Chains A and B, each alone.
Chain A
């Protein structure tokens, strides 16, 4: 699929929690084919401190409306500026970038799991899998009940299991301590979230011989495989997160 640079129009920007925003973007042309796991490179204008583009996961896609959604967590100047976007604003992006999650085999018992802002690609993946009639369950982890986002969206796709670190909603603990992992047997796990969370899930999957794909987020300059900055140390040597990833089978990673 050809990559392209395009000015998209912000159609909405909704604050979901203290530091998470979901921004809907409208393409002036027909959206290219987008696959779950892929990302876009966003140009943040207006400050000498936001010189490079920001890689952002595709959170949701509506082919009919020609829109896509991104989930932004405010962590620095770039994401702060993005959080201030208003309907009608223009956003320059390069897309579609990166590989995508591989599809489950027929009959695979599938789990989508992640937490915090890392849930971003899981919504798109869940909608896609549902449209392909793959059954799956969802395990989400957040710090506390105030941090939980879009539970209704995930619930409409499949059975949702929930953890919070303080137990304010769902089971208390982490993804890997949730009872669903003891009570159910999964064949394939898709995971995205903070690195310690993904490493814990990867550890669980390795131990239980479960196929697992994780979506990585590394510092990136170009997003198209020329700068070689976003490398991941893998069993095949240094690979680029942007072109060889962002989705990796944990068998490839030296975790």
Chain B
């Protein structure tokens, strides 16, 4: 028997596999394909105070070994979330984490307070890295002073587990991990999508309505892995790694490089049950390699 469980702060995760925000809806979309409750957690769709329609079509472009998206945080807002989605989420026997977004610090704070009052939401992922909105989002995550300010403000009102989701579209992601740690975040998750673009040569125009969008999928995995490795060595708070994880082997790379947990994102678009397969693969790897506990594996490549 191997132990896959671990804690971040006071919150226990039964295993290190989570689904990434924006790629798993609100969990129920996956019910036909896997038992979501078997995962370590799900990070549900980016949520804002007010409903948002997101960006115009086209919002997606397939690229080599990946895809660009420019959804722009389409969601029905926190009121709808509370009344219509939260009751269903409460039925899952796993950590349900809400990814929160705002145009202004006050919105992040108000949202953190609202979500903080929801008994069955034990953590938030503070999204300061969405590349597809005009205000807020990545603007906070690419400026050290703004990042510090928004994390500090949210930390002051939010007393459960606070995860900060970092943007890779910066010169030095480690400095943002350090800022998160200094301001009292419990964990950082990385990476959000890489800013990219594609041009439709047939119609001679940008492939996305917003011209630029966020690149995800296996194309970004080496970059994500490098950033996770750098951050995990630089901060003491646990790092949650993501970016192009398609297989158990990909997930294991992140854990060996220092990730305490991982999130599965774009892979779920191709195989909605893949997270559970990845979990089984990690468990098998632990047994094969003789690890008794998942935590022994975290950052293994840095230990010798």
B131 → chain A closest CB, angstroms: 15
Residue contact B74 to A224, C-beta cutoff 8 Å: no
Say if the beta carbon of B222 comes within 8 Å of chain A.
no
What total of chain A residues lie within 8 Å of the partner, measured CB to CB? Answer: 29
For B66, list chain A residues within 8 Å (CB): 51
Residue contact A238 to B272, C-beta cutoff 8 Å: no
Residue contact A238 to B33, C-beta cutoff 8 Å: no
B121 → chain A closest CB, angstroms: 19
Say if the beta carbon of A182 comes within 8 Å of chain B.
no
Say if the beta carbon of B29 comes within 8 Å of chain A.
yes
For A28, list chain B residues within 8 Å (CB): none
Residue contact A226 to B271, C-beta cutoff 8 Å: no
- Bound complex: CA of A50 vs CA of B240, how far in Å? 29
Interface string of A216-243 (1 = CB under 8 A from B): 0011111011111111110001100000
> For chain B, what secondary structure do more than half of its interface residues adopt (helix, strand, loop), or is it mixed?
loop
| CB-based nearest B residue for A94 | B272
> For chain A, what secondary structure do more than half of its interface residues adopt (helix, strand, loop), or is it mixed?
loop
For A237, list chain B residues within 8 Å (CB): 53
Q: Spot the interface stretch: A1-9, A63-71, A162-170.
A: A1-9
Say if the beta carbon of B48 comes within 8 Å of chain A.
no
- Bound complex: CA of A49 vs CA of B45, how far in Å? 27
Residue contact B269 to A231, C-beta cutoff 8 Å: no
Most chain B beta carbons < 10 A, residue from A3, A224, A226, A231: A226
Given A228-B71, A229-B60: A5 and B217 within 8 A (CB)?
no
- Bound complex: CA of A53 vs CA of B63, how far in Å? 13
Say if the beta carbon of B196 comes within 8 Å of chain A.
no
Interface string of B58-93 (1 = CB under 8 A from A): 111111111101010010000000000000000000
Residue contact A52 to B74, C-beta cutoff 8 Å: no
A-B contact count (CB 8 A): 92
- Bound complex: CA of A95 vs CA of B24, how far in Å? 18
Residue contact A51 to B64, C-beta cutoff 8 Å: yes
Residue contact A48 to B64, C-beta cutoff 8 Å: yes
B21 → chain A closest CB, angstroms: 11
Within A179-233, the residues touching B (CB, 8 Å) are 218-222, 224-233
Of A220, A222, A225, A228, which one neighbours B268 at CB under 8 angstroms?
A: A222
For A219, list chain B residues within 8 Å (CB): 57-61
Say if the beta carbon of A43 comes within 8 Å of chain B.
yes
- Bound complex: CA of A230 vs CA of B61, how far in Å? 11
- Bound complex: CA of A126 vs CA of B25, how far in Å? 35
Say if the beta carbon of B119 comes within 8 Å of chain A.
no
- Bound complex: CA of A5 vs CA of B32, how far in Å? 9
- Bound complex: CA of A225 vs CA of B74, how far in Å? 12
Of A4, A53, A225, which one neighbours B270 at CB under 8 angstroms?
A: A53
What total of chain B residues lie within 8 Å of the partner, measured CB to CB? Answer: 35
Residue contact B65 to A229, C-beta cutoff 8 Å: no
Residue contact B65 to A51, C-beta cutoff 8 Å: yes
Residue contact B23 to A51, C-beta cutoff 8 Å: no
| CB-based nearest B residue for A54 | B62
For B53, list chain A residues within 8 Å (CB): 237-238
Given A43-B270, A219-B58, A233-B57: A227 and B64 within 8 A (CB)?
no
Residue contact A229 to B32, C-beta cutoff 8 Å: no
Say if the beta carbon of B273 comes within 8 Å of chain A.
yes
Say if the beta carbon of B5 comes within 8 Å of chain A.
no
For B29, list chain A residues within 8 Å (CB): 224-226
For B57, list chain A residues within 8 Å (CB): 218-219, 230-233
Say if the beta carbon of B56 comes within 8 Å of chain A.
yes
For A218, list chain B residues within 8 Å (CB): 57
Most chain B beta carbons < 10 A, residue from A3, A49, A220, A238: A238
Of B24, B25, B59, B270, which one neighbours A52 at CB under 8 angstroms?
A: B270
Residue contact B67 to A52, C-beta cutoff 8 Å: yes
- Bound complex: CA of A209 vs CA of B112, how far in Å? 50
Say if the beta carbon of B54 comes within 8 Å of chain A.
yes
**Which 9 A/B pairs are nearest by Cβ-Cβ distance?**
A229-B60, A226-B25, A222-B269, A3-B32, A221-B269, A48-B65, A2-B32, A48-B64, A229-B59
CB pairs A–B below 8 angstroms (21 shown): A2-B32, A5-B271, A5-B272, A48-B65, A49-B64, A52-B67, A52-B270, A218-B57, A219-B57, A219-B61, A224-B25, A225-B25, A226-B23, A226-B25, A226-B45, A227-B60, A228-B74, A229-B58, A230-B57, A231-B54, A237-B53
Identify the B interface with A (CB < 8 A).
22-25, 29-30, 32-33, 45, 53-54, 56-67, 69, 71, 74, 217-218, 266, 268-273
Identify the A interface with B (CB < 8 A).
2-5, 43, 48-53, 94, 218-222, 224-233, 237-238
Beyond A229-B69, A238-B54: 12 further Cβ-contacts under 8 Å?
A48-B64, A51-B67, A218-B57, A219-B57, A219-B59, A222-B268, A226-B45, A227-B69, A227-B71, A227-B269, A229-B60, A229-B71
